[in-house]
Amino acid sequence: MAGMLRLRSRIGEVEKEYYRRNRLAEENRPLENGAATRIQSCFRGCRVRAYLRHLHKKATIIQKRWRGFSARARLRQMVKAAYFIMKIHFYEAMAVRIQRIWRGFYVRKYVHNFYDRKRYLEGLAIKNDQVRRSLDELEVSQKRERAWLKVRREQAERTHQARQLHYLLSTQSVGP
């Protein structure tokens, strides 16, 4: 109880102290309010910046994964195209090889066949002999014809001269 009496005796002091502290609190309230606002804005700014950093990291991860995916897809497409081109070149090379082998076989079999060529040349030699003989016969017959024509011309010339000089036959020469 003594404590209570002491408190009652100090009640005016406590009351003054209470009002003084309230007044100081009210005086400091705008300052504390500004400080609290500044602390809150700093905290919110830090939290927003951290969230933005977090979003930036996540966006970077998304971009990285998308770029990796699209690069792998492009690479697959390029590999597929290169493989297709390689197959086309291989098939073209095989087609050229088949054509080369076939053309070689065909030329050896039908175009440059040794036995056919030999037969052809033998036939050609026989034909040449026949043509030569016929040309020789033609030459002989043409020589005979030219000789006969020459004889006929000479006969015609003599007959013509005889007609020209016929008056000489009818006259006699009178001589000493």
Phi, psi of 174 (to 5 degrees): -100, 125
What average pLDDT does the segment 125-136 reach? 96
Q: What is the pLDDT of residue 174?
A: 57
- Record the pTM: 0.39
How does residue 91 score in pLDDT terms, banded at 50, 70 and 90? very high
CA distances from 104 to 90, 92, 147 (A): 21, 18, 59
Per-residue tokens: 18: 């209470």
Read out DSSP for 120-131?
HHHHHHHHHHHH
Lowest-confidence pick of 13-22, 124-133, 144-153: 13-22
96 vs 144: CA distance, rounded Å: 65
Contacts of 110 (CB under 8 A, 6+ apart): 116
Q: HSE (CB half, 13 Å, CA atoms) of 128?
A: 6
Per-residue tokens: 29: 């309230």
Q: What is the pLDDT of residue 171?
A: 61
136 vs 17: CA distance, rounded Å: 163
How does residue 135 score in pLDDT terms, banded at 50, 70 and 90? very high
Phi-psi region of 173 (alpha: psi -120 to 50; beta: other; left: phi over 0): beta
Phi, psi of 113 (to 5 degrees): -70, 120
pLDDT at residue 166 tops 70: no
Phi, psi of 38 (to 5 degrees): -65, -40
Q: What is the pLDDT of residue 4?
A: 77
Lowest-confidence pick of 72-86, 97-111, 144-158, 161-175: 161-175
What average pLDDT does the segment 62-66 reach? 97
Rg of the chain taking only CA atoms, in angstroms: 69
What average pLDDT does the segment 40-57 reach? 95
pLDDT at residue 136 tops 70: yes
